[in-house]
Amino acid sequence: MRLNPDLIEKRGMKKTTNSAAIIAGFEQSIQELLKKIIEFSEGPPKLNAEGLDELDSSLQKLTNELSDLIAAKKLQESLISEDAARSSANFIKGLPQKFKNYGFCETTVRMSNGTVVVVLTPYFARPCLEKKTEKRGKGYYPGLILLGVLDKCMPRLASDVSMAAAALASFKEAQDMLAARGCKLDIKTIRNIVKRYAARARCCQEMGELPQDTLDIAGRRVAISMDGGRMRIRSNKKGPRTKKGRRRFHTDWREPKLFIIYVLDDEGGMERKFCPLIDASLRGPDNIFALLEFYLSKMDITKAASVSFIADGALWIWERACALLSRLGIKPEQYTLVLDFYHAVEHLSKLLVLKKWPSPDQKSYLKKYRRMLLKGKTEAFFDFIESICRGSRNSEVIRERNYFAKNKEKMRYHLFESKRLPKGSGAVESAIRRVINLRLKGPGIFWHEDTANEMLMLRCYYKAKRWGLLNRMASSPAMLLVAE
């Protein structure tokens, strides 16, 4: 539908005749492609293996381009409709700053299969007066934004590019995979699409938005586990550059902190029908706990039948865990704190090594008291720890004794076993390996902090099979004002 001339004049838009030419151009290209496809379908039926592969590739390329052009034609028709004009005007009125209407302007849009097309759409920008000459400030294409075309990129392409970057080992591999399907993008374009996509999703979180239709945990047993990983962050050094003009940089190790929320089945394992929630951050323990609190409050964790919090003995976790559960309104009898059994055994092994006993004796004691922990003989276990540490002035021995003393109430493994609760933090250990170690950590891999935070989020949602949820966050209506 063409824009009503009266409405154009009323909105202050410049009347244009180019939109008809653009639509006609799309229609002509569509007809040409259809003709080529029909020629393929009416061609000779006899093919060898090589010819069949070539036919398949040619048809895929034609159909991809055809779908892009059909979508582009419909997009252009929508952009010049009366409804689009009204919606765009209302969108601009809702912004805090004043914007001037610069009329219809041509802009490029990258379609879902990578085809770049030119469309005509109203452009609004802040007028900036410099030296008595009016110049445009930051502007918006509200028609595109309201249709979900953010960063001049179709929503499905932004999602596909971001998923490829998160799933594969590098941006180069993502580029190759996209090129194989006919979508040729340079690495800089891929990186920019990915960063903006992740930034919108993270901004949606910070604004308190989270679709809840797949987060029902009422009456179910929920487990929460948290831990830290390792990766290297690149930061520029001060001072002169190299002879080649490159910046010198530090590559310090940092600890990204990650949590996983999952539902337990009747045997105490992870319920496969409920995809877990995984997220991570480089911004420190307070930030990751604020993020965890956001998710749990959105899930209405108080409706869960029980909550288990599992972690190793890191102080930064346990100092905040109880306070978090209390703030959320979870009753003490509703939750269970669990020290990872395998970390406890590791600390017992360290303590036995510190005693410098013969190796056979160390193995014998380790096996004996490991079994005691599992059978619920905790008093005998702690009596043994106290007896071998009594009177020692070795700081490492004292540290190991304090480790067990602080976590005594979290080591009732026999009780956990009887209630079919997890006694180990294998879920979060696995998540750290899959999210961080296999993508963000490796020889010669350094990340800028902002890019690392964005990739952490994408990788978490991809590995948790929650990409649909992430996609809705990145294209949420709450993101319209931060889209451009």
> What's the CA gap between 274 and 304, in Å, rounded?
14
Residue 174, token pair as written in the block: 């993502």
Query: pTM for this one?
Result: 0.87
Numbers of helices and strands, H then E, in the chain? 18, 10
pLDDT for position 477: 60
pLDDT for position 337: 96
Contact 404, 193 (CB under 8 A): no
N-term to C-term CA, the chain: 26
Positive or negative, the CA dihedral 205, 211, 215, 216 is positive
> What's the CA gap between 151 and 394, in Å, rounded?
60
Q: Which domains does the chain have, with CATH numbers?
A: 5-205+472-482 (no CATH), 215-339+445-463 (3.30.420), 341-423 (no CATH)
Contact 10, 112 (CB under 8 A): no
For residue 344, the SS3 value is helix
Q: Which residues pair with 226 in a beta bridge?
A: 259
Residue 255, token pair as written in the block: 């600890």
For residue 253, the SS3 value is strand
> What's the CA gap between 330 and 306, in Å, rounded?
9
> What's the CA gap between 390 and 377, in Å, rounded?
20
pLDDT for position 165: 96
Nearest to 385 by CA among 347, 417, 337: 347
Residue 395, token pair as written in the block: 């700081």
DSSP string, 383-402: HHHHHHHTT---HHHHHHHH
* Segments in 390-476 forming alpha helices (H): 395-406, 413-418, 426-432, 449-463, 467-474
> What's the CA gap between 75 and 78, in Å, rounded?
5
pLDDT for position 3: 35
Contact 19, 94 (CB under 8 A): no
Contact 129, 167 (CB under 8 A): no
Amino acid in position 438: L
> What's the CA gap between 421 and 265, in Å, rounded?
9
Q: What is the pLDDT along the chain (484 residues), one digit of tens a residue?
A: 333 333 333 333 343 458 889 999 999 999 999 999 998 888 776 677 777 888 888 888 899 999 999 999 999 999 999 998 899 888 888 888 888 888 888 999 999 998 999 999 999 988 764 444 455 557 889 999 888 888 889 999 999 999 999 999 999 999 999 998 888 899 999 999 999 999 999 888 888 777 765 678 889 999 999 999 999 999 888 888 888 888 888 899 999 999 999 999 999 999 998 999 999 999 999 999 999 999 999 989 999 999 999 999 999 999 999 999 999 999 999 999 999 999 999 999 999 999 888 999 999 999 999 999 999 999 999 999 999 999 889 999 999 999 999 999 999 999 999 999 999 999 999 999 999 999 999 888 999 998 999 999 999 999 999 999 999 888 876 565 554 4
pLDDT for position 16: 45
Residue 52, token pair as written in the block: 């069949």
| Interior/surface letters 175-205, b for 16+ CB within 10 angstroms, e for the rest | bebbeeebbebeeeebbebbbbbbbbbbbbb
> What's the CA gap between 179 and 192, in Å, rounded?
17
Contact 457, 201 (CB under 8 A): yes
> What's the CA gap between 3 and 14, in Å, rounded?
11
User: Phi, psi (5° rounding) for residue 433?
Assistant: -65, -45
How many other CB atoms are there within 10 angstroms of residue 347's CB atom? 19
For residue 439, the SS3 value is coil
Residue 427, token pair as written in the block: 């879920």
**Alpha carbon 484 to chain centroid distance?**
20
Question: To which H or E segment does residue 168 belong?
Answer: none
